[in-house]
Structure 1
Amino acid sequence: MTETMQDIRLLVLDIDGTISGKINQVSPQVLEAIQAAQRKGIKVAIATGRMFCSAKRFYEAIASDVPLIAYNGAWIQDPLQTLPHQQLSVPADIALDILDFLSTKNWRSQLHLHVYHNDELYVDDFNERTAAYQERTGCKANLLTDLRDIVAQAPTKILAVCHTETVPKTLLPLVQKRYTQQQIYCTQSTAVYVEFTSPTATKGQAVKFLTEEILGLQAANVMAIGDNFNDREMLEYAGLGVAMGDAPTALKAVADAVTTSVEEDGVAEAIAKFLL
């Protein structure tokens, strides 16, 4: 840890695996800790890979009063405003190439695709995983016969929902060979989710924008908590980056501190330790 708790004026929280676990909502213990931090004058923000529409209920649950970061940083918007502060897209040519690459027979037997555009979800196959996703996120999937039509419009995000936890281990290295970091940002957000966004859309860049451009603060004023690879840039940027207890070893390695797991209310523990 490089900063003292007196420096922290903004707490940034991931949703899934951080403030939301199996029950798909913020636990009373975590909510109480967040409210205690807010009473001390610390602003609390959400930075998630989720859709904007899916993240809003968590934003409301914690009574955040700063813009919400969705789609791993591609979308930054105050829910009370009609226009986003930032809305980044995957370039159409790259998006179409990703779609073609992931639509080959080999990959389509191992994953299915979600495409996000204008905060709407599009799929070309409605299956049990899609139904479960709808139920968990509260956002309806639009069924298309051909995803190329929407992908050609430069989508906000493409998500590969892998059928097993071994698929990302094979897919990610191939993606890194096929595309440069200037073409696409590709990350893993859960054991089976591989996400594609604009190369400038990361939680780290979004938290930097929120901190410095919107709130007029500095990295030293930020504490961020996350649980997976898509949180890495955010934890690296923050003056105090905290990894959840069940985060991958590589994420814990870049964090300043490690708390307990989401099911053990690790966020509440971290807030109590560093902010209260």
Structure 2
Amino acid sequence: MAQDIRLLVLDIDGTLAGESNDISPRVLAAIGEAQRRGIAVAIATGRMYQAALRFHQAVGSTLPLMAYQGALIKCPRTDTLHRHAPLPRALALDLLAYLAPLETQQELSIHLYIDDQLHVRAIIDDTKAYAERSGVEPLAVGDLTTLMHHQTHLETTKLLALSGNTSLIGQILADLEQRYPSADLYLTRSVDYFVEATHPLANKGEAVRFVAEDLLDLKPEQVMTVGDNFNDLEMLRYAGVGVAMGDAPLPVQQAADWVAPGVEEEGVAVAIEQFLL
């Protein structure tokens, strides 16, 4: 198996980075050894491009960075934009109309990602915690619908609803899945307290397929992916070897070919040692 894999694709949160928000020395060493054996390494994340860059640099990837679930694929070394699939404008406004009353009731906060900047109505505690972990500076712009109407050129790369009420998040996801066919909108959760919406073709499976097949001329069986949550399902299913982290929800583990130990047990290093070294 090891000699067949030419591309290793890694998620960040819950996979490469756990509580510390950093990559452990053991995981970095395993990644470095895989690269020395000729295996390319790439990052595929729900994070913003700017929030994922330090991880891309830490693993020494020479490939484009797949950010926002793959809605943005860009090469940090050359600044080449390979793909940007923003949310259709009408859909972004429709989602805002659905979510805004809940935000007004302080049930959740809405994050709009435009031009790799985080736009919010106001900076509340949830947003502060999110921004601190991501290392980004949120822009408080007031009413998001007004922003969209006044600046018609703006393209929304991703919309995220965030709430500590995970039951509410589950209900919102179920409601939105009823409203929008998957051909119109990609909906997912990367953690229990997020609902994330992107262009229907913006998912990690499609992003990994593009990098593997279109850029590297590889087949799925030459790809190994590692992830820990529902937004990783598509890339786990695409790859010849799809590895779920031990902390992953059961449906994600069931979709994988192998389950590694959890992020705090350095599961990425264990998976690399198992399949690539």
What TM-score, normalized by structure 1, do the two folds share? 0.96
Are 2:57 and 1:48 aligned? no
| 1:56-78: CA deviation from partner (whole Å, max 9, x where unpaired) | 00001111111110000100011
What are the residue-to-residue correspondences of 1:1-276 with 2, within 5 Å? 4-105=1-102, 108-151=105-148, 153-276=154-277
Q: Is the 8 A contact 1:67 1:77 kept in 2?
A: yes
Q: CA RMSD in A?
A: 1.3
Letter in 1 for 2:85: L
- CA 1:199/1:150 → structure 2, altered by over 3 Å: closer, same or farther? farther
- Matched residue type, 1:195: E
Query: How many Å separate the matches in 2 of 1:67 and 1:105?
Result: 37
Q: Tell me the distance in 1 between the aligned counterparts of 2:104 and 2:178.
A: 16
Q: Residues 149-185 of structure 1, C-alpha deviation per residue, up to 9 Å, x if partnerless?
A: 4445330000011222222221111011111112210
Number of aligned residue pairs: 273
Note if contact 2:62-2:77 (Cα within 8 Å) is conserved in structure 1: no
- Distance across 2 between alignment mates of 1:106 and 1:76: 30
Please tell me the residue identity of whatever aligns with 2:238. Y
Q: Equivalents in 2 of 1:94, 1:83: separation in Å?
A: 27
Three-state SS of the structure 2 residue aligned to 1:25 is coil
Three-state SS of the structure 2 residue aligned to 1:166 is: helix
* CA gap 1:228/1:23 in 2 versus in 1, 3 angstroms: same
Alpha-carbon contact 2:109-2:127 (below 8 Å) kept: no
The 8 Å contact of residues 224 and 238 in structure 1, kept in 2 or not, is answered as: yes
Answer with 107-116 or 183-192: which moved more. Answer: 107-116
5+ residue gaps, structure 1 = none
CA distance in 1, matches of 2:264, 2:197: 28
Question: Which blocks of at least 5 consecutive residues in structure 2 are unaligned?
Answer: none
Mapped partners of 1:266, 1:130: distance in 2: 29
* CA distance in structure 2 between the partners assigned to 1:222 and 1:51 by the alignment: 24
Q: Which amino acid is the alignment partner of residue 226 of structure 2?
A: I
Give distance in 2, aligned partners of 1:251 and 1:267: 16
Q: How far apart, CA to CA, are the structure 2 residues paired with 1:131 and 1:66?
A: 31
Report the TM-score when normalising by structure 2.
0.96
CA–CA separation in structure 1 for the residues paired with 2:167 and 2:261: 25
Give the counterpart letter for 1:28 in structure 2.
P
- The CA deviation string for residues 36-66 of structure 1, in whole angstroms up to 9 with x for no partner, is 1111110010000000000000001111111
Alpha-carbon displacement from aligned partner over 1:211-241 (angstroms, at most 9, x marks no partner) = 0001111111100000000000000000000
Letter in 1 for 2:20: I
Q: 1:105 to 1:53 in 2, by over 3 A?
A: closer
